[in-house]
Amino acid sequence: MVTPHIRIVYTSVIVEAVLIAIFVLGYAAIALEHPLKINKAASALLTGVLVWTVYVLAAADKAAVSNELTEHLGEVSGILFFLLGAMTIVELIDAHDGFEVITSRITTNSKRKLLWIICLLTFFLSAMLDNLTTAIVMVTMVRRLVQDQKERLFVVGMIVIAANAGGAWSPIGDVTTTMLWIGGQITSRIILKLFLPSLVCLVVPLVVVSFLMKGNVKKPSAGPSPLKTSAFERNVVFFSGLAVLVFVPIFKAITHLPPYMGILFGLGLLWVVTELIHQHKEPHKKTELSVAQALRNIDAPSILFFLGILLAISALESAHLLEHLARFMDQRIGNQSLIIILIGFLSAVVDNVPLVAATMGMYDLSTHPTDSFLWEFIAYCAGTGGSILIIGTAAGVAAMGIEKIDFVWYLKRIGWLAALGYLTGAGAYLLQEHLISL
């Protein structure tokens, strides 16, 4: 006769196995989007809903699970509203040919030089804004610099690596570093400690690619803009949009409200600005340059894809599967550096936010004080490891949506470069710590 305790444990194991199986199958459907001819957004939405459905059906207290979903949806919607606001602002700048302010100053046709300029610009911009916003801005800008789609996709892949590397060394550059900063695990000292490893994470792949890339890039033909915006309008919208994006982390620091409130406030301001500068135009021309039109042009399926992925991961988090995984590694592996490196690899498969949240719950500040090796290395690995897969970070998901990047293509062409940069950057941090401790 099976005892109640054994029966509960047995049932729990079956439920966990089913949750993992659904997640893996959903992930496979996303990766095989092109062979299956099923949009990744559909696969992600089905995965997210099915995982929560199995979880709630197996739960004794269904009201508690519903409350958990509501809590997670608050966090998820915050990310989605931020993404929606940032994409709309960037689309509005692009509609006004605002990126001409920068692209007109990039005169080189060399593939190597152009790649270095774009990636280094992304690296530093990501630390000031955040990796998601920077990826959206830079990917949109590259569309005006590189005509050939295959070449452009490669540049976009490198932008994902650069954005995540740049976000890792700044307290406001990545969601995970912001979490650790707010939680008291790290301070602004992270800028000094992680700058070199993050730079190595980007430079190593760039050096490798420099030996592979040859020749000149073909830029899009410089014909007249169909929207015929004036220089004044381009400059106003570009610099207003850039100021709004830069203001988001400042708004967060002053008000302590989540970033999506800052981006929505900025979108509202930019909406007013564009309405004022176009108020005397003919209705059809005014509509083409409006925020309403920009909202119609953004990639809605990408936002739904992001929703599905985040829902699925939040279900795994609520079922404590990620926490169990973190504790399993802690008990079986033991070596702290190796565990954190593996967490970085896992962040390419599972969102880095719940993984970092699990580690924050595992280790306390009394044992590992602020700015200790553990927290700094977690910030680096969780921030940069996600670049190995295109859906491992918000920046990658945004780039995937804008340029329709195939999961398998990214894995073959960019994934190994991201892994190389990630591991060499991790090695640079460990070496740096060793030399400091001597």
- Tell me the per-residue pLDDT of 397-417, one tens digit each, with 9 for 90 and over: 888 888 888 888 999 999 999
Q: What is the DSSP letter of 105?
A: T
Q: CA-to-CA distance for 114 and 249, rounded, in angstroms? A: 29
State the pLDDT at residue 221. 65
Q: How confident is the model at residue 7 (pLDDT cuts 50, 70, 90)?
A: very low
Condensed to tens digits (0 to 9), the pLDDT of residues 357-374 reads: 777 767 777 778 888 888
Say what the pLDDT of residue 228 is. Answer: 63
Which own/partner pairs from 136-141 qualify as long-range (CB within 8 Å, at least 24 positions apart)?
A: 136/86, 136/87, 136/90, 136/398, 136/402, 137/90, 137/245, 138/162, 138/163, 139/398, 139/399, 139/402, 139/403, 140/90, 140/91, 140/93, 140/94, 140/99, 140/402, 141/99, 141/102, 141/103
pLDDT tops 90 at residue 268: yes
Does residue 430 register a pLDDT over 80?
yes
pLDDT in tens, 140-186: 889 888 888 888 999 999 999 999 999 999 887 887 887 788 677 88
Q: Give pLDDT, residue 208.
A: 94
Sign of CA dihedral 311, 42, 86, 217: positive
Q: How much is the pLDDT for 1? A: 44
Q: What is the pLDDT of residues 171-184, one digit of tens each?
A: 878 878 877 886 77
Output the average pLDDT for the chain.
Answer: 84
The predicted-structure confidence for 94-115, as pLDDT tens digits, reads as follows 888 887 778 778 888 888 999 9
Can you tell me the mean pLDDT for 337-348?
88
Q: Is the pLDDT of residue 225 over 50?
A: no
Residue 216 backbone phi and psi in degrees, to 5: -110, 155
Rounded Cα gap, residues 341 and 376, in angstroms: 12
- For position 438, what pLDDT does the model report? 56
Q: What is the pLDDT of residues 58-86, one digit of tens each?
A: 888 888 888 889 888 887 888 788 878 88
Whether residue 354 is predicted with pLDDT greater than 70 in this model: the reply is no
203 confidence band (pLDDT: 50, 70, 90): very high
Q: What is the mean pLDDT of residues 285-302?
A: 82
- Best mean pLDDT range from 67-71, 238-242, 304-308, 415-419: 415-419
